Amino acid sequence: MVIATSPIDPSFTFAASRKRARTGFLRHALRLRRVLLAVVLIVLVIVPIDLAYGLFDLFYSVERPPRTHPVTVVCILFGLAATLAHRPFAKTTQIEFALWGGVVLGVLVQPIVAMWLGYRWPDVPLGAMGSNTATSLVLLAVGQMLRLKTANTGFYLISAALFLPAVGLNGVLIGNHNFFGEMSLLTALGILGLAGANVVGFVRHRSIRLLVLDSMPGRLLRRHIALWLSLAIVVPVSLRVVGIGDSYGFSFIYTAQMTTVLLGILYFGLRYSDMLEKSRFLECKLLRDVETDLLTGASSRQAAHSFFNEQGWRGPMAVILLDLDHFKAVNDTFGHAVGDEALRFTYGSLREGLRLNDMVARWGGEEFLILIPMAAGIDVQARADTLRRRIEEASKANKDLPSLTASFGVVISEPGTFDQLDPLIEQADAALYRAKRKGRNTVEMAAPHGGGKGNAKAA
């Protein structure tokens, strides 16, 4: 049995497009998260080498270059373990909570540990954990710990943790000690990578979802941010090379300017992306409404015509028109609410008895149209009779509905014989009326050109 999703049936296309969009943005989010965590791992590997040999001393504009303190390394390591333990779309677990609590504890005991390390190894330049580093780590840890209760507060705190290391990195690139202070280049990169990976972990948040969405707005926004990042790196390095970035005032103005530009890109980009995404959603919803019968959930006439136009030339297609017998009596006796439920029940019975690539449309009133792309060996008459018996037997088993029967008219279309659905509907309708005249609850066959007929009587 061939199982495939119809390209026209809106009940499948809309859900499939939503699933593809979700899969796309989740894939981008996980890829970005892995890159940021890889940066953190590289930083942790390089830190001991930098402490021993001063690999990055040339980057600093001071005689005594800052170093990544061992306590900072431990805090970043705890944060990395907690981040790796976190699952996308999930809240912070107790293990993660404990690891982030270890980060806060490390920040609190750092002064005592620094004094002990200085006493134990006075000649080793271990550096110090500055206020900016401590603040960023606390914001990051508290943000993840608050995620259990208030996800939005956690998101904003973790986003704020990106600011201070970004300013420190900017200071290192410009060569202004007032900006990086005691924060080393490796510390800034490590905290940026860790905070960035945890921000991306909020994949359900509207801002992150729009940023990593696999769509044109998402790609456009990512390109804007990539351009900003390139300017944020190239411009300060260039200023440092020509020697005009040393003044405190100039560095402050430049940092404020780049921050403002980034916030502008994020704000207007996210607003624009959100607008396009809502427009796309409304367009899909409108298409779904146009191609779906709102009462039963079956496809509409328009969807049936589109399905035939797209699939009819590929191979033989069975066109089955069915009508519920004595349906007016159902409405008159039991009321229109029961009649509506009977229509929904009929569609459900038909849908369950067909393949996914078969079309079921409500043709009008109590009439339904079934389009079956045929493969070799399919007995359409037997298939229609199975559906007829399915409606009859299932309705008898349903205590909330009266017993239902249906008459069927069937015609088979060969490729190239008809380029429109309407002539086939006329032949199927004629066969349906023959079934009605012969006592109802019957399947009548019609030849593609209107000749020949057969029937399958009800048992």
150-198 pLDDT tens trace: 778 888 899 899 999 988 888 888 888 888 888 889 999 999 999 999 8
Q: Does residue 7 surpass a pLDDT of 50?
A: no
Q: How confident is the model at residue 124 (pLDDT cuts 50, 70, 90)?
A: low
Q: Does residue 314 surpass a pLDDT of 70?
A: yes
| pLDDT recorded at residue 101 | 93
Q: What does the block give as tokens for 248?
A: 């405190």
pLDDT tens digits along 347-404: 999 999 998 889 999 998 999 999 999 865 578 899 999 999 999 999 999 988 999 9
Strand partners of residue 454: 445
| pLDDT recorded at residue 458 | 37
Residues 6+ apart with CB under 8 A from 275: none
pLDDT tens digits along 264-278: 777 777 777 777 777
Give the Cα separation of 164 and 130 in Å (integer): 11
Mean pLDDT of the chain: 82
| pLDDT recorded at residue 5 | 36
| pLDDT recorded at residue 236 | 79
**Quick one: how far is CA 194 from the chain centroid?**
23
Residue 431 and residue 444 in contact, taking contact as beta carbons nearer than 8 Å: yes
Q: What are phi and psi of 368, to 5 degrees?
A: -125, 145
Residue 58 vs residue 95, higher pLDDT? 95
| pLDDT recorded at residue 457 | 38
Residue 356 and residue 5 in contact, taking contact as beta carbons nearer than 8 Å: yes
Q: Does residue 337 surpass a pLDDT of 90?
A: yes
Q: Does residue 55 surpass a pLDDT of 50?
A: yes
Residue type for position 387: L
Q: What does the block give as tokens for 247?
A: 């003044």
Start-to-end CA span in the chain (Å):
27
| pLDDT recorded at residue 447 | 64
Q: How confident is the model at residue 308 (pLDDT cuts 50, 70, 90)?
A: very high
Give the Cα separation of 161 and 145 in Å (integer): 14
Strand partners of residue 408: 322, 443
Q: How confident is the model at residue 245 (pLDDT cuts 50, 70, 90)?
A: low
Give the Cα separation of 353 and 368 in Å (integer): 14
| pLDDT recorded at residue 392 | 94
Strand partners of residue 373: 317
Residue 125 vs residue 106, higher pLDDT? 106
Strand partners of residue 262: none
Residue 457 and residue 442 in contact, taking contact as beta carbons nearer than 8 Å: yes
Task: List, in order of start, the domains of the chain with CATH numbers.
Answer: 10-287 (no CATH), 301-456 (3.30.70.270)
Give the Cα separation of 220 and 190 in Å (integer): 27
| pLDDT recorded at residue 425 | 94
**Quick one: how far is CA 252 from the chain centroid?**
39
CA-closest candidate to residue 360, choices 387, 332, 331, 334: 387
Just list the catalytic residues: 366
pLDDT tens digits along 64-88: 788 888 899 999 999 999 999 887 6
Residue 205 and residue 211 in contact, taking contact as beta carbons nearer than 8 Å: no
**Quick one: how far is CA 24 from the chain centroid?**
6
Q: How confident is the model at residue 24 (pLDDT cuts 50, 70, 90)?
A: low
Residues 6+ apart with CB under 8 A from 297: 11, 344, 347
Average pLDDT in the 112-139 region? Answer: 82
Residue 432 and residue 373 in contact, taking contact as beta carbons nearer than 8 Å: no
SS (H, E, C) the chain: CCCCCCCCCHHHHHHHHHHHHHHHHHHHHHHHHHHHHHHHHHHHHHHHHHHHHCCCHHHCCCCCCCCCCHHHHHHHHHHHHHHHHCCCCCCCCHHHHHHHHHHHHHHHHHHHHHHHHHHHCCCCCCCCCCHHHHHHHHHHHHHHHHCCCCHHHHHHHHHHCCHHHHHHHHHHHHCCHHHHCCCCHHHHHHHHHHHHHHHHCCCCCHHHHHHHCCCHHHHHHHHHHHHHHHHHHHHHHHHHHHCCCCCHHHHHHHHHHHHHHHHHHHHHHHHHHHHHHHHHHHHHHHHHHHCECCCCCCECHHHHHHHHHHHCCCCCEEEEEEEECCHHHHHHHHCHHHHHHHHHHHHHHHHHCCCCCCEEEEEECCEEEEEEECCCCCCHHHHHHHHHHHHHHHHHHCCCCCCCCEEEEEEEECCCCCCCCHHHHHHHHHHHHHHHHCCCCCEEEECCCCCCEEEECCC
Q: Does residue 57 surpass a pLDDT of 60?
A: yes
Give the Cα separation of 65 and 183 in Å (integer): 9
Q: How confident is the model at residue 429 (pLDDT cuts 50, 70, 90)?
A: very high
Query: Over pLDDT 70: what percentage of the chain?
Result: 84
| pLDDT recorded at residue 41 | 94
| pLDDT recorded at residue 269 | 75
Global pTM exceeds 0.85:
no
Q: What are phi and psi of 359, to 5 degrees?
A: -100, 135
Strand partners of residue 410: 320, 445
Q: What are phi and psi of 2, to 5 degrees?
A: -85, 130
Residue 295 and residue 341 in contact, taking contact as beta carbons nearer than 8 Å: no
Residue 363 and residue 301 in contact, taking contact as beta carbons nearer than 8 Å: yes
382, burial (CB in 10 Å: exposed 0-12, middle 13-18, buried 19+): exposed
Q: How confident is the model at residue 105 (pLDDT cuts 50, 70, 90)?
A: very high
Q: How confident is the model at residue 453 (pLDDT cuts 50, 70, 90)?
A: very low
